[in-house]
Structure 1
Amino acid sequence: MATDSPKRASCGTRASTRAADRIASWCLRRAPELLNVGTLARQGVLRPMRPDKLIRILLAWRRWGITPPMGYAVGAIRHPDRPAIIDERGALSFAEVEQRTTRLAHGLRERGPSGDTRVGILCRNHHGMVETVIACSKIGTDAVLINTGLSAQQISDVVTEQNIGLLVVDNEFLEHVTALTDTQMVLAWTEGTTRHATLEHLIGNSSARPLPRPSRHSRMIVLTSGTTGPPKGARRPDPPGLAPAATVLSRMPLRSGERMLICAPLFHTWGIAGFQLGIVLGATLVLRRKFEPQQALAAIQRHRCTSVFAVPVMLQRILELPADVRTPYDHRSLRVVACSGSALSADLAKNFQREFGRVLYNFYGSTEASWVSIATPHDLWQAPGTAGTAPRGTKLRLLDSDNEPVPTGGTGRIFVGNDMLFEGYTNGYDKELHDGLMPTGDLGRLDSAGRLFVAGRADDMIVSGGENVYPQETEDAIASLPEVTEVAVTGVADAEYGQRLAAFVVTPEGSGLDAETLRARVRPKLSQFARPRDVVFLDRLPRNATGKVVPRELPDSTGSDSPVRHGR
């Protein structure tokens, strides 16, 4: 009986080995894509569907690409009757939003803008703002999302700088835009009658015929917070695919068909993040124009919300509700409370999870960098105050002043790389990259488990008596006192030490906490130069519409005529 020769057997073995190596190499190269597909399938984003629906989705993708119109077109195909938006005026299904935004796109195009002018949106959270963003994308016009907390002069400056030719504005902000006589106005949210054109008028009187593919790709322009200077316009990119969503979903278990209460303003990066994730998930967006803590709890209960997007001060306001007001509301439907926009203190993280369970996720990012790291409930339970770890596909580096990596536990500048770095400021300036990584402007340190802790803004660090001092450390120590509801710490000039720390503290009425007692109780937790030399008691901290403290609006900590309770 014939047998294979040793030489033939050896060749077959080598061929099998080469084939196995090729398969292994392919799997290694494709591992990120395979992981993303697995994540999206697990969360219900990718699932089998009828061939006719798949063909219609492919045609929608060919027309719109990966944009908001694509998301709502897919929703109208896959689940047309599912509520897409619920606000104070009721619910709109995915099919209705798809039809209404086509009509609105025709109406906006007929009224302008033309050429390179943009549409400005000065609105609170409601269906009109969402529909305007989608309609602008359908006609290839940039949408500038304007902070509702800006002054009339700041709004005027933004309209000029961003070349806004048409402004969609809520009725309550009309008094802020009276000077804009050369800018077309369309009212979004109105009360009673008005002589202005409205979104509903444009929708009701415009064509429903299908729109062609836009001649240019539109962008959402998000303004920076403006807490330390004039707000700048940052061009937000559309996701290059579903990979960015998969990155976030790999750490934050949002699911297809979420009922998502977005408390964060939609003009803010964090509100937009919830909106964009909601598009991918086919989520129902539950919106309220203004945040009220009790109304937020009522919305969670009424609509059986499974997730909430909020900024830390909103969570603090919910916890400050009297127990007999807060506890009757049923929040058992909640699986994810996603928090971002400003620092989440360790005490707020602990107290919120004691009350609402282990549902809290801390998302650290910025307008320019999108995401940097995500802390899970487990992270926040084990290390309260952490910003978490970098999610899949994200590069996180801490570098010193010479751009060299800092050791574990050391403080360095935070640099990040991901799929959604911004495309530059609209004034032509950009952030300087280092080895493809963008600086966030913050300082941080990593613990032995690789968890990030943000020490504060790099330009907030002070040098007191020759020592580097980070205000965040002092803020955390003061915030841990049970009598303190809010605190902000900043550096002020000092003739002897160069700089010193001033603490601005909010306490409940009648708490009895004074400056000397506060200093004595935080002394064991802080080094000498990190102890606040000035302590000022305020009724409230000056915050912008996204909940960030505005340092320039804090009173002079050394002035004796300041209209606040003052302790030195």
Structure 2
Amino acid sequence: MGDLGYKLKVLRRIGLLKAQNPVRLVKAGKKLASWGPGFPSAVGAAAARKPQQVAIIDDAGQLTWRETSDAINRLTQAFKDKGFVPGDPIAVLCRNHRHMVIAMVAISQFGGRMLLLNTMASGGQLTELVKREGAKMVILDQEFLPVAADIDRESIVVAWEDDETHGLPTLGSLAKGLSPADHPKPAKPGSIVIFTSGTTGLPKGAKRKEPENLEPLLTYFGAIPYEGNSTVVVAAPLFHSWGLLNFGFGLSTVPTYVLRRRFVPEQVIRDIAKYKAEVLVVVPLMMQRLVDADPEVIKNHDVSSLKITASSGSALAGELATHFMDTFTDSVYNFYGATETGWVTIAGPKDLRDAPGTAGRVPWHTVVKVLDENGHEVPQGETGVIHVGNSMMFAGYTDGRTKDFRDGLMHSGDLGYFDEAGRLFVAGRDDDMVISGGENVFPRELEDALIEHPKVQDVVVTGIPDPQWGQCLAAYVVVREGEELSQDEVVDYAKQHVARFAVPRAVMFLDELPRNPTGKVMKRNLPAFETLS
């Protein structure tokens, strides 16, 4: 299929070429034509095409697309009345709900620089990031006020309020009584800064621009088959690039978003069943918790409407995708990429069943090569450093640094290989590789084996110094509730499933692993092992 055929097929499926009310279609077209791709134009077009369709279902109720667009326009006017101009930075520290959506699109609509902060940020991190990025306003949920104790209260506006004791302005009070009229395109387009996980220190700010054309959207929806007007449960946090990408791209399909402030597996299952949701956006840790949800809730709720479970943010451990699909529906589409790289590959249900653990195939208009240390492409089946080129790569870090490139392709930081079917497999981070007795060992191989042990709830593997072998693997294990497991049992199980040099020499049992909201293990917070003798 040529490029034109590909584009037409995708545009028809997501509803952009569907027969519609001509007056509404013209209005939507004008918004898209004058603004170009981006949050404001997509919301404006959705409100023009389907004004009475429910846009957001959250813990406060429902909003239509017209109500959502009007609220965004009022808040945009409030920002302008306060003197904000294109390029001004505004920090956002919110969970998933209507006020976060309204704030994000309004900031983009006046041309602001949106700083999306991690809900697990410490007080020190928050203060330093707000100062470093020059935020002129901090929009946050009331629950985060204690974390913002050192932030100037004059700059704080509350998004979600639990009660009225905070004594601060809210987004609603700022916008009250203002005009819902549309706004002209700003002189300078808005931008977004997403902060990396910060697993090794203060998070770096990764700059992202609004798409310049429809190519990113066409690539994404060509690989993950969204349909127009679907109901989408966004469980992944919106402050993270994965949740944000699905929200932003999804806008063009005029969906109904189901947003909850906190992830509760049983609530997600109920939402899918109640609203007949076709799409679920998660990180892998959420998939594991859904599989482990109350069996009665799983049994008593019909989730057969679920066609897409879009997953990203960290590696799929073991055969998690298969377990999820066996429990729910054959719907998993796993997106391998990062905040900096955008997508690299995408794996659909068939490939995840045929080759568990695969990162998937290279999508349309994307280049992925596996290179050796000299920059030469390695043969199929051999491991090297994954490099990628696409239309969604980031625009550098806010401190001026960027990633390494080789012949126009970005260094992903990961090692991997392609199989004979063209599927990519990720061995692990290039800085995670352990050399044990002269063998290259990747922690993920052991993690994928141990997570399949029936008594293991969670696991992460690291490399530690070893006086005999130079380095060796060590496992941190969380045992399932009500079960008992010894170090010898873990080692014996490993001996049956991995090569001898990948068997852990040390095991530590923990009540839980320190994970961030996207499921990545914060390795700097793991307790240290004693020196091996």
| TM-score normalised by the chain length of structure 2 | 0.96
| Distance verdict in 2 for CA 1:436–1:103, change over 3 Å | same
Deviation at 1:459, TM superposition (A): 0.6
Do structure 1's residue 338 and structure 2's residue 302 form an aligned pair?
no
Deviation at 1:209, TM superposition (A): 3.8
Do structure 1's residue 76 and structure 2's residue 47 form an aligned pair?
yes
Do structure 1's residue 160 and structure 2's residue 143 form an aligned pair?
no
**Residue 500 of structure 1: aligned partner:** 472
Do structure 1's residue 121 and structure 2's residue 92 form an aligned pair?
yes
CA distance in structure 2 between the partners assigned to 1:439 and 1:182 by the alignment: 41
Contact 2:29 / 2:45 at 8 angstroms: preserved in 1?
no
CA distance in structure 2 between the partners assigned to 1:350 and 1:66 by the alignment: 36
SS at match of 2:160: coil
Query: Which residue of the other structure, out of 204, 218, 225, is the alignment partner of 1:232?
Result: 204
CA distance in structure 1 between the partners assigned to 2:88 and 2:110 by the alignment: 13
- The unaligned stretches of length 5 or more in structure 1 are 1-27, 561-567
Contact 1:504 / 1:537 at 8 angstroms: preserved in 2?
yes
**Residue 402 of structure 2: aligned partner:** 430
**After the TM superposition, which residues 178-257 of structure 1 pair with which residues of structure 2 at under 5 Å, given as runs?**
178-181=149-152, 184-193=155-164, 194-257=166-229
**After the TM superposition, which residues 455-494 of structure 1 pair with which residues of structure 2 at under 5 Å, given as runs?**
455-494=427-466
**Residue 548 of structure 1: aligned partner:** 520
CA distance in structure 1 between the partners assigned to 2:322 and 2:20 by the alignment: 43
The aligned amino acid for 1:210 is D
The aligned amino acid for 2:72 is T
Deviation at 1:510, TM superposition (A): 3.5
**Residue 16 of structure 1: aligned partner:** none
Deviation at 1:446, TM superposition (A): 1.1
CA distance in structure 1 between the partners assigned to 2:83 and 2:496 by the alignment: 63
RMSD: 1.7
CA distance in structure 1 between the partners assigned to 2:398 and 2:296 by the alignment: 49
| TM-score normalised by the chain length of structure 1 | 0.91
CA distance in structure 2 between the partners assigned to 1:147 and 1:278 by the alignment: 22
| Distance verdict in 2 for CA 1:155–1:559, change over 3 Å | farther
Query: Which residue of the other structure, out of 225, 247, 254, is the alignment partner of 1:282?
Result: 254
**After the TM superposition, which residues 263-282 of structure 1 pair with which residues of structure 2 at under 5 Å, given as runs?**
263-282=235-254
**Residue 177 of structure 1: aligned partner:** 148
CA distance in structure 2 between the partners assigned to 1:115 and 1:37 by the alignment: 35
Do structure 1's residue 137 and structure 2's residue 108 form an aligned pair?
yes
SS at match of 1:175: coil
Contact 1:293 / 1:317 at 8 angstroms: preserved in 2?
yes
Deviation at 1:114, TM superposition (A): 5.1
SS at match of 1:501: strand
CA distance in structure 2 between the partners assigned to 1:522 and 1:500 by the alignment: 14
Deviation at 1:182, TM superposition (A): 6.8
Deviation at 1:468, TM superposition (A): 1.2
Deviation at 1:107, TM superposition (A): 0.8
Contact 1:64 / 1:138 at 8 angstroms: preserved in 2?
no
Do structure 1's residue 36 and structure 2's residue 7 form an aligned pair?
yes
Contact 2:87 / 2:111 at 8 angstroms: preserved in 1?
no
Larger radius of gyration: 1
The aligned amino acid for 1:162 is E
**Residue 419 of structure 2: aligned partner:** 447
The aligned amino acid for 2:35 is W
CA distance in structure 2 between the partners assigned to 1:312 and 1:500 by the alignment: 27
SS at match of 2:146: helix
Deviation at 1:62, TM superposition (A): 4.0
Deviation at 1:183, TM superposition (A): 5.7
**Residue 515 of structure 1: aligned partner:** 487
**Residue 508 of structure 2: aligned partner:** 536
Contact 2:455 / 2:480 at 8 angstroms: preserved in 1?
yes
Query: Which residue of the other structure, out of 406, 413, 418, is the alignment partner of 2:390?
Result: 418
CA distance in structure 2 between the partners assigned to 1:63 and 1:140 by the alignment: 15
SS at match of 2:415: strand
CA distance in structure 2 between the partners assigned to 1:559 and 1:206 by the alignment: 65
The aligned amino acid for 1:493 is P
1:431-463 per-residue CA deviation (whole Å, 9 max, x = no partner) reads 122111111111111111111111111111111
The aligned amino acid for 1:174 is L
Contact 1:522 / 1:531 at 8 angstroms: preserved in 2?
yes
Deviation at 1:485, TM superposition (A): 1.4
Contact 1:278 / 1:284 at 8 angstroms: preserved in 2?
no
CA distance in structure 1 between the partners assigned to 2:377 and 2:198 by the alignment: 30
Identical aligned residues as a percent: 40
Contact 2:321 / 2:332 at 8 angstroms: preserved in 1?
yes
1:161-199 per-residue CA deviation (whole Å, 9 max, x = no partner) reads 111010100000001111112761110000221311101
CA distance in structure 1 between the partners assigned to 2:456 and 2:530 by the alignment: 21
Do structure 1's residue 106 and structure 2's residue 77 form an aligned pair?
yes
| Distance verdict in 2 for CA 1:115–1:421, change over 3 Å | closer
- The unaligned stretches of length 5 or more in structure 2 are none
SS at match of 2:368: strand
CA distance in structure 2 between the partners assigned to 1:511 and 1:523 by the alignment: 21
**After the TM superposition, which residues 362-441 of structure 1 pair with which residues of structure 2 at under 5 Å, given as runs?**
362-441=334-413
CA distance in structure 1 between the partners assigned to 2:497 and 2:480 by the alignment: 23
CA distance in structure 2 between the partners assigned to 1:296 and 1:44 by the alignment: 26
CA distance in structure 2 between the partners assigned to 1:299 and 1:50 by the alignment: 30
1:385-431 per-residue CA deviation (whole Å, 9 max, x = no partner) reads 11111111111111111111111111111111111111111111111
Q: After alignment, is 508-517 or 541-550 more displaced?
A: 508-517
CA distance in structure 1 between the partners assigned to 2:242 and 2:432 by the alignment: 23
Equivalent pairs counted in the alignment come to 532
Deviation at 1:115, TM superposition (A): 7.1
Deviation beyond 4 Å, 4+ runs, structure 1: none
The aligned amino acid for 2:63 is L
The aligned amino acid for 1:177 is A
